[in-house]
Every structure is written in C-alpha cells, then in structure tokens.
Chains A and B, each alone.
Chain A
Amino acid sequence: MRYIGSFILPFALLASEISLTGALRNDAMVTSRRESAAYSDKLHEFNNILETGIVLEAENEDWKYYGDARAYFYEGSSVGSTSGNGRSEDVKLMRSFLRYTSGIGTTTLGKAFVNVGNGGLFNPFEIRKLVTFSDLSYTREGFLLASQTVNWQDTSELLVYAGSPNPFNYDPFWGISPGFHFSGMQGGLVVSHARADHNNAGIFLKGDYGAGFHGSWNTVLSDEGNYRYNEAVAGMDYSVNAQWFFDAGGYYNQSGADNPAEYETSETAYLSAEYYAFFSANYIPDEFLQMGVMAFINATDGSTLLLPSVTTFLSTGLSATLLFVLPTATGQTEFSQDLYGAATTLVRVEGKF
C-alpha cells in the first residue's frame, strides 16, 4: 500500500500549483485504575502518542494529487510489558490519490475516503466501523479505490465506488449511492457490498427546520440472503445564541448482544450491544474556546461513558485540549471502569503549519 504514493507522486511534478502543509500532535494520557489490570501491575498508566503529518497537494486546471503521510511515536504501558513502559514507531500513508474533475463530476483513483450516507457518529454505511472515544474526530485511513461522482444541476449526485482495504487479500467492496438535496433537506439511498456477507441496502435523510435532524436506516444481508439484521441511527441538534450547541440521538444495531457476557468487538459494528443513546452539550463563546461534555449510554447494560473536555486555541493553527474519559459502571459492562480504568486524563497539543 505504501508504494501507491511513489507511483502517483511523479504526476504531482506536472502540477501548476504545489503546496506542503504539516501537522504535529501530542496526546499524553494518564489512566487511573482502582485495581491493577491483568496486563499491568500499576494503578496509574501513562501513554504518549506523538503524531507528525505532512500533506502534499499538487493541482492543475482539471486534476489534483493529494497525499497525507503520518509518523507515530508511541511510548507507555500500552506498548510495554507488565514490568514497564515501552516504545514503538509506525508510519502510515493515510491517503494518496489522484482526482480528475470533468464536466460531469469527479473521478478519484488511489488511497482515499469514500463518504457514503450522512457521515458523523455511528454512520451505518461506513465500510469499516471504528469509534475512538478519546478522539472522536479521528482521521480514518483511506482505502485503495476508484470512485466517480456525477452531479446533476447541483441538486442531486450519484456516487459509484469500488475498492479493497488490502489489494493483496481479496476482500473487495463496492457501492452505489444516489443522493439529492432540496430546500432544507438532503438524503439518498445506498446499495453496497462492504465485505463478505455484509451487503447493505438503506436510506439516509438530514435536514434543518429550526432544529437539525438526521437519520439513517440500513439492512445488512448475507451473501446467500439467509441472514439479515438492521442498523440505524437518528438524532437531533439545536443551538442557542450560536454559542450553546446540543445534540442527542440513538443508535440501534440488531446484531448487537443483549447480554454483556456475549459482547464482541469487530470492524462490522461500532459497539457491542444492541441499543445506545448519546448526547452532547457544548459551549463555544468564540473561536478561541470551546468546552462541553459528551455521553454515551449503553441501554442494554446501563453503563455510561462521560467525556468532558475543554479546548483553547492559543494562536493561528495551535490548540490545546484537556479531555477526561469517565466510565460510570463497574463489572461486566461495556463502559466499565474495569476495562477503561476509573478515569483517563488526556492532554492534547496540536499545531498546523
């Protein structure tokens, strides 16, 4: 996969406009436990992730190249042993693609994202489902794919895509999604194949008539058609004085377990249980400060994860965040202190240059 960039990069040399931007982010985390975990004898664990990224863009009249490479430096107990901290490094090519814009739409080829449905939390149409509570705006890694969007009079769009997460391990995905937007409403249909035995057929809607709303419904079918389940997300958002922002919703996954003893994690489901509720309240007085709290409630076992945070923007491109991950339950529950620790404190410093 990492050779894609070197294959596409020569095209960038033909561009009329080239830009290079970078980002540096450091996450320092301390997790406090009531009792020592099975893999560590310490009550306080420290982990640090230093991430550096470079984005190269080269564009011409009709096409552009976009490349996003990251280097990660991990340090702490999660990469160590019971006796102490460890260190490791990783390099990832997050995206590397060519995009051609023609009279009918855009063609994308390379390692890229495919955005199907409404996007946001718990989108049932994501090809690989992942939620990182300490970083909900986590940047996904692209897939090797070819996609085509066809626009019609700026009121509707057709997206067609096909690709594979790993070209050396035959596991293709494909999909087609016609979408529309009219007045305050937008929506569409999705028919796709995400992986073996995961064929999707669903609908998504989004709008705003004073308060915002969004909803998606997806039916997942096995290849033989002998097994199926439903997955859905719905929510509402509202703001007061353009400074207070509220969001609430629910997530349903029929394939989720209704008994904590049967919880499993996989890339085909965001979480393990059947029913969830989530809400957030944020206060953003200006561009320099934002604070808020998010809550995820597992309605099957009653456990809750609270995520209070505050972010300050120190200067152009430089921000600092303090985030707490606070599970409320103990025992065999999904958001359990036995699993997440009693509390995790994260300090994030991020700069773009």
Chain B
Amino acid sequence: MSKIRAIFFTLAVTSLLHPESAMDIIRRVDSNEDFVTQKYTATMVITRGSRELKKTMTGYGASRGEKAFIEFTNPADKGVKYLKLNNELWIYFPDADDIMKISGHMLRQGMMGSDLSYEDMMRAEKLEEDYSAKLLEDKTIRGRSCYQVELAAKTPEALFARQIIFVDKEWYTAHSVELYAHGGRLLKTMELQDIKLFQGKYVPTKTVIEDKRRKNSKTTLILHSIEINGELADSVFTHKNLRK
C-alpha cells in the first residue's frame, strides 16, 4: 500500500513540475470540439457602425466538421442553403432555383457578407495536425483563468500562419482567438462568450468575429439551440437536399 502511495505522490509531484504541454492543451481543445453530428439554430448579426443585418439559420454538421448543411430562415434570405462536403462548398439560390459551386478566389468572400469567410467555414482542421504549439504567459479572460497558446502553421497550406488561443484551464475551450496572416498581420479576432455545457461539450453561445481589414465591422453569431451527437440522416448532406 505504501508503494502505491509513493507512486501516486511521485506522479503528482512530476505533474506539478511539468504542467500540461501546449500540445496536450490543444489536443483537449480538439477533443472538446469533436462531434459526430450536430444540429443547431442560430442568428447571425452583421454590424457596420450603427447599422446591422440579422440572418437566422438552421445548421447541421457531421463527420467532425467534414460535412455541413446550413439553411437560412429569415424572410430576406429564406431558402438560401449551403452544403459543405469535405473541401467543396455549394450554394442553392431559391430565386433562381439553381445551385452554384463556390471555389477558388470566391472562397475568400464573407459568407452572406459577414466577417466569416467561406474559407473560415470550410475549415475543419485539427489544430494538433496543422500547427505546432507553444505555451505563453497565462491570462485571465472574462474572469476565467486561461492558458495562452501560440500556434505556428506546420505547412504553407494552413489557413493562418499563426494563431493565439486563450484556453480555459478547466473547460479546455477557447475564450479568445487571434488569427494572423502569413505576413504577420492580425487578420481576425474571435471572442467566444457565454460558454455553456451541452451534452458533455462546452460550447460558446455567443461568438463575436472581427475582420481587422474592415473598419467598424463585426459579426456576432448567437446560438439558440444545439443538439450534439443526435441521429442525423446521411441524406441531409446531399445535393438533392439543396434543391428540396
């Protein structure tokens, strides 16, 4: 018995001397964001100065972000649908009853004019696979103690050259993200707020995205409901469902 106690004591002391590595933290962030399926309703508020546009949507996701389907439900955009299958993105326009593929340079446009680009939407990267990680000085964000992790892209194909992520020390979810271009310029910031626990996953119910290339502009995503790892038919993520 005393030997077992000694082993536990040694492990505890070792973990204090060597706190979690940056990559361990990122693995736990990836794990918290992992899902088999998800279904949600949300509102996207695009703000420019004192003006704002509101768009409501119902979204579905599967295969850990490889598949996504979004349908806009507000009157001005009603019936506009997006389908993401791996690295391909399609849009259905009800006014034309037609489907268009978004690719190449068009992916850099803001989704529905927001600060969130189609490229951002296409991102289903696992941070652990695409970036190397380094721990910086801890910081408190909105009253929560956070690790500050710097990520550097391992390949030139990574969407951002560098990311700074502030990860909650207890929940292992990001509170704040800074995204930098390959030239070193700060491109976007994301503030992930009102984090709540849904089916074992910590999910931000309010996300504020600012594209730093735009002046006085921000996009707020407000999550109204989410169902994680529920049953979802494969037929949701098909071209047929766009035209349906």
In the complex, what residues of B have CB within 8 A of residue A157's CB? 239
B48 touches A239 (CB 8 A): no
A300 at interface, CB cutoff 8 A: no
B105 touches A210 (CB 8 A): yes
Query: Besides the contacts A113-B98, A151-B240, what 14 more A-B pairs have beta carbons closer than 8 Å?
Result: A19-B78, A21-B75, A22-B75, A99-B243, A112-B97, A115-B96, A208-B105, A286-B214, A286-B217, A313-B53, A315-B51, A316-B76, A317-B74, A317-B75
Interface SS of chain B: helix, strand, loop or mixed? Answer: mixed
* Shortest Cβ gap from A143 to chain B (Å): 12
* Shortest Cβ gap from A265 to chain B (Å): 24
In the complex, what residues of B have CB within 8 A of residue A154's CB? 85, 238-239
A260 at interface, CB cutoff 8 A: no
Task: Pull 7 A–B residue pairs with CB atoms less than 8 Å apart, ordered by A.
Answer: A113-B98, A151-B238, A212-B103, A239-B109, A286-B46, A287-B113, A288-B51
A32 at interface, CB cutoff 8 A: no
Interface residues of A in 276-290 (CB under 8 A from B): 285-288
In the complex, what residues of B have CB within 8 A of residue A239's CB? 105-106, 108-109
In the complex, what residues of A have CB within 8 A of residue B123's CB? none
A168 at interface, CB cutoff 8 A: no
- A306, B79: Cα distance in complex, Å: 33
> Size range of the interface on B?
35 or more
B48 touches A212 (CB 8 A): no
A196 at interface, CB cutoff 8 A: no
* Shortest Cβ gap from A98 to chain B (Å): 12
Chain A contacts to B: CB under 8 angstroms: 19, 21-22, 55, 57, 59, 64, 66, 95, 99, 101, 105-106, 112-113, 115, 119, 139, 149, 151, 154, 157, 181, 184, 186, 206-212, 237-239, 241-242, 285-288, 313-317, 352-353
* Shortest Cβ gap from B110 to chain A (Å): 7
- A57, B55: Cα distance in complex, Å: 19
- A139, B104: Cα distance in complex, Å: 27
B41 at interface, CB cutoff 8 A: no
Chain A: CB-nearest residue to B53: A316
B104 touches A352 (CB 8 A): no
A101 touches B244 (CB 8 A): yes
A113 touches B97 (CB 8 A): yes
Contact A105/B240 with A210-B104, A210-B105, A212-B106 known, Cβ cut-off 8 Å: yes
Instruction: From the candidates A22, A181, A211, name the one contacting B101 in the complex (CB within 8 A).
Output: A181
B104 touches A184 (CB 8 A): yes
* Shortest Cβ gap from A122 to chain B (Å): 16
Question: Which of B55, B103, B106, B114 is most buried by chain A, counting CB atoms within 10 A of its CB?
Answer: B103
Counting from the closest, the 8 A-B pairs by CB-CB distance are A287-B113, A208-B104, A317-B76, A242-B108, A208-B103, A352-B76, A115-B98, A21-B75
Instruction: From the candidates A101, A112, A186, A286, name the one contacting B48 in the complex (CB within 8 A).
Output: A286
* Shortest Cβ gap from B74 to chain A (Å): 7
- A6, B46: Cα distance in complex, Å: 40
- A181, B96: Cα distance in complex, Å: 20
A101 touches B106 (CB 8 A): no
Chain B: CB-nearest residue to A101: B244
